[in-house]
Structure 1
Amino acid sequence: MAEVLGKMKRTHMCGDLRLTNVSEEVTLMGWVQKRRDLGGLIFADLRDRAGIVQIIFDKDISEEAFTKAEKIRGEYVLAVRGIVKRRQAVNNNLPTGEIEIFAEELKILSEAQTPPIYIDDNDEVSENLRLKYRYLDLRKPKMQKNMMFRHKMAKVVRDYLDENAFAEIETPILGKPTPEGARDYLVPSRVNPGKFYALPQSPQLFKQLLMVSGMDRYFQIVKCFRDEDLRADRQPEFTQIDIEMSFVEVDDVLSMNEKLLQRIFKEMMNIDIQLPLQRLPYAEAMDRYGSDKPDLRFGFELKSISDIAKDCGFKVFKDAIANGGDVRGININGYGEQFSRKDITKIEDYAKIYGAKGLAWIKLTSEGIQSPIAKFLTEVEIQMILARFEAVEGDLLLFVADKSGIVFDALGHLRVEVAKQLKLLDKNEYKLLWVTEFPLFEYDEEENRYVAKHHPFTSPMDEDVDLLETAPDKARAKAYDIVLNGIEIGGGSIRIHRSELQQKMFKALGFSEEEAWDKFGFLLEAFKYGTPPHGGIAYGLDRFVMLLTGNDSIREVIAFPKTQNASSPMTEDPTEVDEKQLKELHIRVSLEE
């Protein structure tokens, strides 16, 4: 490199120069964004991670530099030495728009072919092509800004946790397959034929063992792996901010993490978050919002009218309640006139995606009530329903009648969809809350048994321990999620630290003692030797950064993500491997038709 650069040594980043640098001699290095030849002058915009600055090659100042500049094209890599001068025609769209560099020396460090995608934030190229040429896509100012934001946010997290006596400790990537919810990625062992490691879905068991070991406070910014169906906020490999603390209860963990969130928002967004954050028990969140991750940037809260509808003349309502179901609705306050019958049919179709068989509605207009169900209801019933929703002229009431799970799911999604259509979701508004007291179990219809809502090491509420054996569906957990604008960005719990309670938990989950020891024996063995009460939380770093940077996909904030089918167009993985490698691993591939 010394031969290539000669005596040239970079003195500044392109985007850092300002009027205060006028008359200074500077050496810059970067990529050519664009070039314009005006005869005796050649203009080139030079770009690096910090930004863009205009370079002028003037034949009268340096004929040698001018001659070389005649050869440059977009994405050539240059080293330029020159003098900073005040720009005559100011470009207010650039931070460096008040200055320009008159070049005295130029070195072409690398030539470039015409790139297959434009290095421009407004390039409309397909995502697949962007990912195929990700190294070019990452040159875009927006993408580099995302990567730097992510880096700085990770540093804020590390600094805060270090100040609060947390130690960053690495845990194994190759571990034992354990049932934690999603499918494991398996790694065959060459030296142990027929046996496999699993890539960690999380460091859950190891961080608990670190508490057993007396480390007291641990954290790790760590890669995790889950073989699950992908979507905009999921990747097969993702990054967690993983935190665990000893000798704590729920309030201790929440308080520590609220201050971390406050620090992140202040240093990254210059937003002051008021503490304590709102806390909402799971049951109340479902009752009011139909979701365990409610978006609080708008209203449209759910209200039940089952007591009014149970004896009404509308058969759909009456039958739903008779079958043990529920009738609930939301009030689209003040926006009723924006929804025609055709619009209501569209949102009814949306509700059907989530299991609703239909959507009943009442619209209050200046001419009175419009509703296809009004003829089945008495005037008293209608007035009681309107009073329940505090409905006035201009409102639109939407109802779903079905099993409670379907009602919550349909209306929970519907309120967000309607808010989206009405453009009520402001990306620059941030609403944080804790959702607490989750159910300890949920029933899995396929497996015909209760499974852990979070994971098998979550502690039940003290007053609900006896329910593990008598009514597991009613047991609540010392579990909590942190929700930002309707998206869960982290979750955790107080862990079980006593062997006898852990055994009860396994029994409630349908594990025999033998199965529990087979899967988690190393943890149960560790618990025999003195275990402190402990708990923690894990944040999805990718998802958190996505929200704070205003993106809609975590692929925008991960340097080299996978596509929706978990492949990489750039490296073309996953791929087949040769027979020699398979033979060494004692593996034979058999593809079913």
Structure 2
Amino acid sequence: MTEPLAEHIKPEEEISAERFSEVSLDSLGEWKRSHHCGELGAEHIGEDVILMGWVQRRRDHGGLIFVDLRDREGITQVVFDPQHSREAHERAHSLRNEYVIAVKGTVRRRPEGMENPKLKTGEIEVLVHDLKILNASRTPPFLVEDRVQVGENVRLQYRYIDLRRPSMMRNLRTRHEALQITRNFFSERGFIEVETPVLTKSTPEGARDYLVPSRIYPGRFYALPQSPQLFKQLLMVSGFDRYFQIVKCFRDEDLRADRQPEFTQLDLEMSFISEADIYAIIEEWLYTLFKKIAGVELQIPFRKMTYEDAMNKYGTDRPDLRYDLEIIDVTDIVSASDFQVFRQAISSGGRVCVLKYPGGVKFSRKELDDFIAFVQRLGAKGMAWIKIQPDQWQSPIAKFLDEGVRAALTERLNLGEGDIIFFMADRRDVAFPVMGEFRTHLAEKEGLAEKGSYEFVWITHFPLLEWSAEEKRFVSVHHPFTAPVEEELHLLEESPERVHSRAYDLVLNGIEIGGGSIRIHRRDVQERVFRVLGIGDDEAREKFGFLLEALQYGAPPHGGIAFGFDRLLMLMVGASSIRDVIAFPKTQKATCLLTGAPSEPDVQQLLELHIRVEVEKEKTGNLS
């Protein structure tokens, strides 16, 4: 539900209808803006100027009235002096925050000691000769300032006001610049920008499609694309060789904290290439982007790490490498211990892994209990710990570890005085991922990640398929058009879990920002992969017949990658949410508080589409 304006402002600040109508409004007439509000400096002193914008704040000093006038470029202080223009001064008494005005005046130097070094225009002010009030404004629900504390729902409901804040204006301008740099970069390197269809055929790729009913063909539906995947492959078959597109994509996913139902993607594809070609072009693009936007020179080439190494060392295929904490498997060492929890886990096929944190002896018992509660919420049975004190190993489990076990742990973990080690014993698919989550949690608590640092890593050599216990079949780790490693093709039918793919993800500071693969370019291989996925020949022809046919007409070897542009921009500008780099985002519940979308359709629309809607009231929920 949206929240009313009156809940966020004091009643006496509200402008009544009578008060609103009393404001005498002007038209621009022949006035033409000469400068933006962030452009004037000492070099303009003595010039007559015309500025237009919004009243940031008004200060009445008895005689003089000062107004901070704001537009997208910045703020200029304008001064109303009754000795200079009595009419303009009298009208300035009616100004309030967010009024839209135009002023005509002369640039002059601020009095000595009154300069504002925080503003680009802080050396000067404009002495006003004439004032036009172009529009009044109700008192906004929050101040147009970055330091103001206001709930995100209120910000999204009044997004047109929120976007006036300097940080939001700056974020969207940075987005514009990044998009222009990206377009120019790929165009200069022989890529052709091609727009692919928005209304297309439903070919599920892991998330649910948004369906669009067809009025002309009753009972049939288009789908909004989750990505241009198949079309960009067809462009390679067509001989375009290098394609890119900055494209809107749509996924009807379950609600998550930092996902959007529609998002912007940089999509590209290349023919006659290998993985190394993809790595090189992307690293050059990101180097260019970060240097021009953030003034940061990235270290290229980026690190590379196999999926298996990432999971073993960090418990995730999205490792944050800004800090050096590594997970270490000590199953072989502790199997000789007398600790029953370790022995039971190992005997049932599980593993015991360890995370060492230097200086961790400082943690209190309450902090350690909180750590254990954290991993238990993630599905672990518990977590043991040992503090390496000067003269002892301090821990409830220390008595179960004899001198031989302690010596082996000390050597493998390079233990030193002041360290703490955390143990987790469980199934491999629980112990390592949960320890990976704990690693991130510990790093955040301790502030281990250096602000303003960027650590990229390519994750490679993913499994081609994984078993889905829910669907009781193999599913693609990436998507079904990803090429298997050619030397392992003979294992596809008999041991599909052993086949690796030619896929790659790019991870930045623990967040996946892009992913892609070398594609299958032969029909026979594509059909084999479909069959292993449980997609029979008839279903394959129904869903992907156009692709299978195209692969018969000279499809070249090709591959590509796609980047979530919103997520990349979020990391570049240091925002806490992708919603802060999107002009009009949806909420975490996929609703638009500004427009009220999604909304109920008109009955006539449904009749024309031959659709009847039946919704159980109790299942509709609260959309705010």
Q: TM-score, normalised by structure 1?
A: 0.98
Alignment of 1:75-86 (within 5 A): 75-86=98-109
SS in 1 for 2:607: helix
Query: 1:302, 1:330 within 8 Å by CA — same for their partners in 2?
Result: yes
SS in 2 for 1:384: helix
1:391-448 C-alpha deviation (Å, 9 max, x unpaired): 1111110111111111121111111100100011233111111111111111111001
Matched, 1:242 2:274: no
2:566 to 523, 542, 561: 542
Matched, 1:562 2:586: yes
Partner of 1:179: 204
1:326 to 348, 351, 357: 351
Q: Which amino acid aligns with 1:561?
A: P
CA distance in 2, matches of 1:283, 1:18: 58
SS in 2 for 1:496: coil
2:340 to 301, 309, 315: 315
Partner of 1:57: 80
Partner of 2:621: none
1:40 to 56, 63, 66: 63
Partner of 1:21: 44
Offset, 1:232: 3.5
Q: Which amino acid aligns with 1:414?
A: F
Matched, 1:259 2:284: yes
Q: Which amino acid aligns with 1:490?
A: G
Q: Which amino acid aligns with 1:459?
A: A
Matched, 1:74 2:97: yes
1:4 to 17, 27, 30: 27
Aligned positions, number: 590
Query: 1:232, 1:554 within 8 Å by CA — same for their partners in 2?
Result: no
1:382 to 383, 406, 424: 406
Partner of 1:132: 157
Partner of 1:358: 382
Query: 1:134, 1:560 within 8 Å by CA — same for their partners in 2?
Result: yes
Matched, 1:580 2:609: no
Matched, 1:394 2:406: no
CA distance in 2, matches of 1:353, 1:20: 62
Offset, 1:543: 0.5
Larger deviation, residues 157-166 vs 81-90: 81-90
1:218 to 219, 243, 258: 243
Larger deviation, residues 482-491 vs 83-92: 83-92
Partner of 2:9: none
Offset, 1:158: 0.7
Question: Alignment identity in percent?
Answer: 53
CA distance in 2, matches of 1:333, 1:155: 45
Offset, 1:367: 4.2
Offset, 1:371: 1.1
CA distance in 2, matches of 1:217, 1:318: 56
Q: Which amino acid aligns with 1:234?
A: R
SS in 2 for 1:327: strand
Q: Which amino acid aligns with 2:551?
A: F
CA distance in 1, matches of 2:432, 2:496: 22
1:10-46 C-alpha deviation (Å, 9 max, x unpaired): 1211112222222222211110000011222110001
Matched, 1:463 2:487: yes
**How large is the Cα RMSD of the aligned pairs?**
1.2
Alignment of 1:149-188 (within 5 A): 149-188=174-213
Larger deviation, residues 136-145 vs 468-477: 468-477
SS in 2 for 1:44: strand
1:274-332 C-alpha deviation (Å, 9 max, x unpaired): 22111111111111111101001111101010111223211111121211111111111
2:444 to 391, 414, 420: 420
CA distance in 1, matches of 2:172, 2:362: 40
2:428 to 404, 407, 410: 404
Q: Which amino acid aligns with 1:256?
A: I
Query: 1:354, 1:409 within 8 Å by CA — same for their partners in 2?
Result: no
Partner of 2:19: none
Partner of 1:105: 130
1:185-234 C-alpha deviation (Å, 9 max, x unpaired): 11111111011111111111111111111111111111111111233431
For structure 1, which runs of at least 5 residues remain unmatched after alignment? none
Query: 1:167, 1:217 within 8 Å by CA — same for their partners in 2?
Result: yes
CA distance in 1, matches of 2:52, 2:190: 41
SS in 2 for 1:447: coil
SS in 1 for 2:504: strand
1:557-576 C-alpha deviation (Å, 9 max, x unpaired): 11111111111111111111
SS in 1 for 2:187: helix
Alignment of 1:509-520 (within 5 A): 509-520=533-544
1:276 to 301, 323, 327: 301
CA distance in 1, matches of 2:287, 2:140: 42
Offset, 1:353: 2.5
1:85-124 C-alpha deviation (Å, 9 max, x unpaired): 1222011222221111111221111111111222111221
Offset, 1:248: 0.8
Query: 1:210, 1:218 within 8 Å by CA — same for their partners in 2?
Result: yes
Partner of 1:292: 317
Q: Which amino acid aligns with 1:363?
A: K
CA distance in 2, matches of 1:587, 1:146: 41
Q: Which amino acid aligns with 1:192?
A: Y
Offset, 1:531: 0.5
SS in 1 for 2:467: strand
Query: 1:288, 1:303 within 8 Å by CA — same for their partners in 2?
Result: yes
Partner of 1:119: 144
Larger deviation, residues 352-361 vs 532-541: 352-361
- Runs of 4+ displaced beyond 3 Å: none
CA distance in 2, matches of 1:86, 1:368: 71
Q: Which amino acid aligns with 2:558?
A: H
Q: Which amino acid aligns with 1:382?
A: R
Offset, 1:182: 0.4
Q: TM-score, normalised by structure 2?
A: 0.93
1:317-376 C-alpha deviation (Å, 9 max, x unpaired): 112121111111111122x13311211111111112322110011111234211111111
1:238-289 C-alpha deviation (Å, 9 max, x unpaired): 1101111111110011111110010011001111112211111111111111
For structure 2, which runs of at least 5 residues remain unmatched after alignment? 1-25, 619-624
Matched, 1:501 2:525: yes
Partner of 1:431: 455
1:513-560 C-alpha deviation (Å, 9 max, x unpaired): 111111111111111111011111100010001111111111111111
CA distance in 1, matches of 2:400, 2:393: 13
Partner of 2:5: none
Partner of 1:485: 509
Q: Which amino acid aligns with 1:27?
A: I
Q: Which amino acid aligns with 2:335?
A: K
Query: 1:232, 1:555 within 8 Å by CA — same for their partners in 2?
Result: no
Q: Which amino acid aligns with 1:298?
A: Y
Query: 2:483, 2:518 within 8 Å by CA — same for their partners in 1?
Result: yes
CA distance in 1, matches of 2:579, 2:384: 38
CA distance in 1, matches of 2:225, 2:462: 24
2:328 to 303, 307, 325: 303
Describe the shift of the 1:100–1:367 C-alpha distance in structure 2 as closer, same or farther (beyond 3 A).
farther
Larger deviation, residues 207-216 vs 463-472: 463-472
SS in 1 for 2:233: helix
Q: Which amino acid aligns with 1:378?
A: D
CA distance in 2, matches of 1:23, 1:396: 68
CA distance in 2, matches of 1:246, 1:103: 62
Query: 2:258, 2:588 within 8 Å by CA — same for their partners in 1?
Result: no
SS in 2 for 1:208: helix
CA distance in 2, matches of 1:42, 1:257: 54
